[in-house]
Structure 1
Amino acid sequence: RGYLGMDTNPDGVALASVSYTGQPEPWPEGFTVPYPKALHKFAGEFQVTVHPNGFLYIKIPELAYSRGYRRTYLIGVLAKVAVDIARALGKPIALENLDFGKDRLDTNKRFNRMASNFPFKKISEAITRKAVKEGVSVRPVWPAHTSTIGYYKYKQRYGVTIHHAAALPIARRAMGFKERITKEIKQKIQAIREKLNHKANSLPGEGKGMTRKVKRLFKQLDGKIPLHNGLTRFQQESFYSAWHDLKQLALSSR
């Protein structure tokens, strides 16, 4: 039956409905996300973007800047909607174990500022409590590199945002799937290498193009990538795996 992967964000959650094969599963015919009766203050207070290939985003804009009781209330509303979706699909929920921190890879500086002080753990705790109450299973997973994996492997493939793309490896990790470094990722790395070499030649200056830091990243990746697919899943997910260097490379080349 698979899992419902969940990536938490300051303004809501991204969900990926994933089948037992580890691939996104289209939403059932007639699937809808009902508007919560508890929210009725203003238009756009509750927003849902549904991708037919099994991804959706539930956005409550006020959640990002509200405080105190209001934020707690909105988190409760969000938790109810997310758990209701999982129950309707008959799938357990996979989410990040935020005791170990939150993995982020977003090139939007405004979003990063907003996320830096957001209590992500409150959302996961609220969802877990609601799920237990409703009889829906929850499986927390090691959070390392989920956004990076989503960025390199799934964002472009499925035409979704990085948050949707991160929800997919979260669900796959709950099912025990490994994340291989594919031919497409190697081609993407080579394209970044060529782009930065060109930038270094055309825009001289400290901190631009192929810097010493970036050269070091490429050297580390040249050593790690040939070995990556032969490693155990736990070695692939370790902090200083190839995904760590790929994250730094993405941030350096933005």
Structure 2
Amino acid sequence: MGGLREVAASFVVPGPAGVAVRARLRLSDADVAVLCEVGVFLGGLATGDLAVRSRQRLEHDGGSWAVRKRELTGASSARWAGSITKATYDQWALARRGQARELVWLRGQIASVEARLARPLGAKADRKAGLARGYGSRAEWHAKSRRLHLLRDRLARVEADWAAGRVHVVRDGKQLARLRHHLDEAGLDAVAWRQRWEAARLFLAADGESGKRFGNETIRVTGTGQVSIRLPAALTHLANAPHGRYQLDAIAEFRHRGEEWADRITANRAVAYRIHPDPVRGRWYVTASWQRTPIPVLPLETALSRGVVAVDMNDDHLAAWHLDVHGNPVGEPRRFFYGLSGNAAHRDAQIRHALTRLLHHTRRCGAGAIAIEDLDFSDGTSREKHGRNKRFRRLISRFPTAKLKARLVSMAAEQDIALVAVDPAYTSRWGAQHWQQPLTTETRRTTRHDAAAVAIGRRALGHPIRRRTAPPRTRQSDGRGPRTAQAGPGTRRREGPRPRIPGPRTRSAGAGRGAKAGDQHARHRSGHAAEHGSWHQAKAPLPLSP
């Protein structure tokens, strides 16, 4: 393959498995007081249950789960206890998955550093031999050797925790807990941090149950938006409705997916709710979530039957171009810009707006699929991979790859648009090499990102990306047809380099290599030596004797 890695096959991304919508609750002071008291009480139970589960480590089983649930049921209720134990299990399992990913990352970092330390200073990488590049200076080599010891110590600790089943978790998140020691950098004071801490430790979440009224017996939202909660056994004195319930004065109105939510609660299908505050804005929200019926994944040929809109994702815009089923660019390239400045909510809104415009453009083009690269930047911020290119590492760090893909999957499913993921290998390089100049005209300036979008679309459609260089006009066709013919979609290794044909590059033989190389006269069509030899005047004829 000439040093090129194998290109993975394209595939259709499955649709989302769940849905979550949010509505604002305009609570009264009495509602806020009751919710805070209930949330603090249940939050204390959840914190204690997480501590018990963490101490059990790998000895946990179904019996110990039942024991924990019975203990929580006496202080709250059976449904509250089920929600608490499920949340505890999810957080413990998430911490274990994080440990597994950290182990893989640490081992990869150690292997990379060891490979570079074994190379001489300033040595260049050799991909064919599988050799990494050496460090640039003795000081860098010494610093990396010290880092190697730190990575090995950290790996030993994580491996010990993994073997023992020990996890390090904080119920409201480690980031908020560590922020307590850096209030000046975050622009907060102790009071503001305490409000966020207490708001994060509230527990007001209940899983749904199909067959129960409105799909949830613990936190109930009726079709008119009336919200009521089942109070724990220790707080039944706060009830203002029958059966130990507290009904809020606020009305929940789900504007997004409201009809789908209404259909579920009308049919008494399970809907999970979570009531949570936003201490920064001083607001309260209720989030409804439910599982969707799995939709069969379309075959790749069916998804691409009407063409594709290929997208090259960048840190500030999406470069898109519509391609027909034959892999030809149609129309003009489009760019959908977004900003990554401001807080998380602003960045999320910018991404949603850009993806909305992309989906509208796809529907106008009549295409049934969007092609994107299957990017994975989990190791993209490593200095061992990108060297001293700090600017590039920062660019990859702020690139919202996961958020873009997650948003696009959920939003495209609502528009009945398939999402095709392709291997990102060489798309930018080959796109710029083979498509940027041919697609540039006097009125259109094609960028590298536009050319990369064309390469992504052609790979999704099963066409090769690289184009053969056209020969001279007089030799564009020979006995086997045009030389610019592309390999078929079923041809194996069509993405690889063409085999090197031994012999001269041109049809004419080189100097001294022809069949008549020894005959210098045969190299000329007429005259031979008379044409190219030196000219001498012949002597005058002798006079005739008398």
- Does 1 or 2 have the higher relative contact order (CA < 8 Å, sep 6+)? 1
Q: What's 2:395 paired with?
A: 115
Q: What's 2:336 paired with?
A: 58
1:9 to 303, 306, 314: 314
For structure 2, list consecutive stretches of 5 or more residues without a partner in the other structure. 1-305, 381-388, 441-445, 472-486, 498-546
CA contact (8 A) 1:101 1:143 kept: no
Q: CA deviation at 1:101?
A: 7.6
| Change over 3 Å in CA distance of 1:182–1:88 after alignment to 2 | same
Cα distance in structure 1, aligned partners of 2:333 and 2:414? 25
Q: What's 1:124 paired with?
A: 405
1:93 to 347, 351, 370: 370
| Change over 3 Å in CA distance of 1:23–1:131 after alignment to 2 | same
CA contact (8 A) 2:434 2:466 kept: no
CA contact (8 A) 2:309 2:362 kept: yes
Q: Which letter maps to 2:328?
A: Q
Q: What's 2:415 paired with?
A: 134
Q: Which letter maps to 2:365?
A: L
| Change over 3 Å in CA distance of 1:15–1:231 after alignment to 2 | closer
After superposition, the C-alpha distances for 1:21-71 in whole angstroms (9 at most, x for unaligned) are: 211111xxxxxxxxxxxxxxxxxxxxxxxxxxx2111122x23x4442221
2:456 counterpart of 1:179: no
2:350 to 74, 78, 83: 74
Q: What's 1:191 paired with?
A: none
3-state SS in 1 of match to 2:330:
coil
Q: What's 1:168 paired with?
A: 454
CA contact (8 A) 1:9 1:115 kept: no
Q: CA deviation at 1:18?
A: 0.6
Cα distance in structure 1, aligned partners of 2:396 and 2:408? 21
Cα distance in structure 1, aligned partners of 2:375 and 2:335? 20
After superposition, the C-alpha distances for 1:146-191 in whole angstroms (9 at most, x for unaligned) are: 101111011111121111110011111111112335226x9xxxxx
Q: CA deviation at 1:231?
A: 11
Q: Which moved more, 1:80-89 or 1:7-16?
A: 80-89
3-state SS in 1 of match to 2:435:
helix
Cα distance in structure 2, aligned partners of 1:12 and 1:158? 20
CA contact (8 A) 1:96 1:142 kept: yes
3-state SS in 1 of match to 2:436:
helix
Q: Which letter maps to 1:77?
A: H
Cα distance in structure 2, aligned partners of 1:70 and 1:236? 44
| Change over 3 Å in CA distance of 1:85–1:167 after alignment to 2 | same
After superposition, the C-alpha distances for 1:225-246 in whole angstroms (9 at most, x for unaligned) are: xxxx799777455xxx65xxxx
Give 1 or 2: higher helix fraction: 1
CA contact (8 A) 1:147 1:166 kept: yes
For structure 1, list consecutive stretches of 5 or more residues without a partner in the other structure. 27-53, 104-108, 187-228, 243-254
Cα distance in structure 2, aligned partners of 1:102 and 1:5? 25
3-state SS in 2 of match to 1:77:
helix
3-state SS in 2 of match to 1:76:
helix
2:298 counterpart of 1:21: no
State the TM-score, normalized to the length of structure 2. Answer: 0.27
1:182-201 correspondence to structure 2 within 5 Å = 182-183=468-469
3-state SS in 2 of match to 1:157:
coil
| Change over 3 Å in CA distance of 1:79–1:234 after alignment to 2 | farther
Q: CA deviation at 1:114?
A: 5.4
Query: Over alpha carbons, which structure has the higher Rg?
Result: 2
- The Cα RMSD (Å) is 3.4
3-state SS in 2 of match to 1:25:
strand
Count how many residue pairs are aligned between Structure 1 and Structure 2: 165
After superposition, the C-alpha distances for 1:177-218 in whole angstroms (9 at most, x for unaligned) are: 12335226x9xxxxxxxxxxxxxxxxxxxxxxxxxxxxxxxx
| Change over 3 Å in CA distance of 1:231–1:15 after alignment to 2 | closer
Q: Which letter maps to 2:466?
A: R
3-state SS in 2 of match to 1:158:
coil
| Change over 3 Å in CA distance of 1:120–1:233 after alignment to 2 | farther
Q: CA deviation at 1:96?
A: 0.9
Q: Which letter maps to 1:131?
A: A
Q: CA deviation at 1:129?
A: 1.3
